[in-house]
Chain A
Amino acid sequence: MLRSVLGKTLRDQRRSLLFWSLGFVAVTLIYVAPYRSFVEQGLLETRESAIYEAIGFDQTPAGYLRGTVFGLIGPLLLIMAATTYGARAIAGDEEDGTLDLLLAHPLSRARLVLERAGGLGAAVALLGAVLWAAVVTATRVADMGIPVARLTLAVLGLALLALTFGAVALALGAATGRRGLVVGVTAALAVASYVAFTFAPQVDALAFLEPLSPFTWYLGDNPLVGPPDALGLTLLVAVPLALCALAVAAFERRDIAV
């Protein structure tokens, strides 16, 4: 783990990765495992309502998962984790003063950004895998009857969604070196994207925003029900890659703060 920047990055994150993992497992179990008893107690019988429709919630297994783990709490947590890692990748370390010493070694700036991006990708992949295992287990327990392939597709989309915002944070950090600003702007973008996906379709003047939201790329066609959204997934891969390239370009041309 001390042999490369990427290994060191993951090693430095081992505690926080463990805590996030425990959080994902706990949240998934709390939401999903009691699904049957929620249904039996009638807790999920909702009236027709614009809000429920907007967040895609209904009491079918797919609707319930879409409205909770995949549409709300999962994105919230995984985007938070990815944003934290993305912001720390460059801006956080720069504010702590550790980039100065690192970049005084035979390590190019591009290499640093790419290894840090790799660390971000690995962290999100790990948390995605934990979430996947928890969701698969919990849906079995609750006897929800959703095929593993569909769950896998949904978790993949969710992980890529989080990676997108992590990459936004990485790129902003590479450009500015200011962690507070990075977290603030990334969080604002994530909220705006969620709103654009969830509520813009109901307002004619804002409807054009919906296809621009990464949430749409991930959840526009409910991956638990519909066919895989090839364009959406492509965008969710291409945008983080493009952001990494931007991060390298921005980081190459500026001063490193002590």
Chain B
Amino acid sequence: MNGVALRTEGLTKDYGRGRHRALDGLDLEVRTGEVYGFLGPNGAGKTTTIRLLLDLLRPTAGRVEVLGRDPRRDGVEVRRRIGYLPGDLPVRGRDSAGDLLTFLGHLRGGVPAARVRALADRFELDLRRPLRELSKGNRQKVGIVQAFAHDPELLILDEPTSGLDPLQQQEFLRLVREARTAGRTVFMSSHVLGEVQEVADRAAVLRAGRLVAVEDVDTLRERAVHEVELHFDAPVPAAAFADLPDVRHVSVDGATVRAVVEGRADALVKAAARFTVLTVRSHEPDLEDAFLAHYASEEAGRRAA
């Protein structure tokens, strides 16, 4: 269980004549049997990376190895062993979802119809419906079914839960856990921290084409940023909340204090404890805010160093 399912070294991709650098020297290593989250805000380069792994794009520089092979040279063999969920399933023509799944199954030399049906049932997907009448969520289900139907060794999933409602998202995460239990490797991109925290063992964080961090998911959770709002029984002095460790973006507005906590909330709580606290509210911002906070401090640190 300690093999490497996929690896990139210095993977770089420029698009178009403008040489827009979408991916810049990415080094990744995903171990066999792990669920690996690939996190980043929109435009970070997640889809670009995934399409490079499948040999749909050709790298400007760097190396890719998938299941021990070069996807450029041994693409057919590599892709036989992969299940891929595209960011958006294309729908053209009058085919039903079932027709598309049958056709894609044949490209793999046949996929058990019973397994396709079982997966479709699990997500309450009606296979007789024409593809182009399907909602984004239902298209996503078709994508999930075709990615998992042949029970591949490696699943490469691009934003797999987008468009799914919360119950279906949970069903999908169960499917991912089952795949891991069965020894499969899962590489899934996401811009939602929560779902990666729920299923992944490790996660990489990508921003603007660069790898920012590779962390155990537990560490990532500790890094998570929270927005905290405190209400007091009387106005509080701003000075009492200045320069607290792990606390940023403090705004004091009469009897209300708003701040962003990164890591421990200890300093903020102790500072607040000197006054009479009426309510405390805390919530996790979306990934983008959480990341921007993290990167900003990291980059500031680099500049200072």
Q: Measuring CB to CB, which residues of chain A are less than 8 angstroms from any residue of chain B?
A: 2-5, 8, 12, 93, 96-98, 100-108, 253-256, 258
Report Cα–Cα, A8/B56, bound state, in Å.
21
Instruction: Kindly provide the distance from the CB of B47 to the nearest chain A CB, expressed in whole angstroms.
Output: 8
List residues of B (54-89) whose CB comes within 8 Å of A's CBs.
Answer: 54-58, 75-77, 79-80, 82, 84, 86-89
Identify which of A3, A102, A106 gathers the most chain B CB atoms within 10 Å of its CB. A106
The answer to whether B108 touches A98 (Cβ under 8 A) is no
Q: Is A106 touching B108 in the complex (CB atoms < 8 A)?
A: yes
User: Which DSSP category, helix, strand, loop or mixed, fits chain A's interface?
Assistant: loop
Q: Is B51 an interface residue (CB 8 A)?
A: yes
The reply to whether A97 and B88 form a contact with Cβ atoms under 8 Å apart is yes
Q: Is the CB of A254 within 8 A of B107?
A: no
Specify the chain A residue showing the minimal Cβ separation from B107. Answer: A105
Least CB distance, B92 to chain A, in whole angstroms: 5
**Residues in chain A near residue B107, CB distance under 8 A:** 5, 102, 105-107
Considering the chains assembled together, what is the distance between the CA atoms of A102 and B51 in angstroms?
Answer: 13
Given contacts A2-B99, A108-B76, contact A101 B58 (CB under 8 A): no
By beta carbon, the residue of chain B nearest A106 is B80
Could you tell me if A100 and B106 are in contact, using CB atoms closer than 8 angstroms? Answer: no
Q: Which residues of B contact A103 (CB under 8 A)?
A: 54-56
Q: What residues of A have a CB within 8 angstroms of the CB of B82 in the complex?
A: 104
Minimum Cβ distance to chain A for residue B139 (Å): 11
CB distance from B52 to the nearest CB of A (A): 9
- B58 contacts A254, C-beta separation under 8 Å: yes
- 10 additional contacts (CB under 8 A) given A101-B84, A105-B104, A107-B79: A2-B99, A2-B102, A8-B103, A12-B95, A93-B92, A101-B104, A101-B146, A103-B56, A104-B86, A107-B107
Q: A2-B102, A102-B107, A104-B82 are in contact. Are A96 and B92 (CB under 8 A)?
A: yes
Q: A101, B54: Cβ atoms under 8 Å?
A: no
Point out the residues of chain B lying under 8 angstroms from A255, CB to CB.
Answer: 56-58
Tell me whether A101 and B92 are in contact (CB under 8 A).
Answer: no
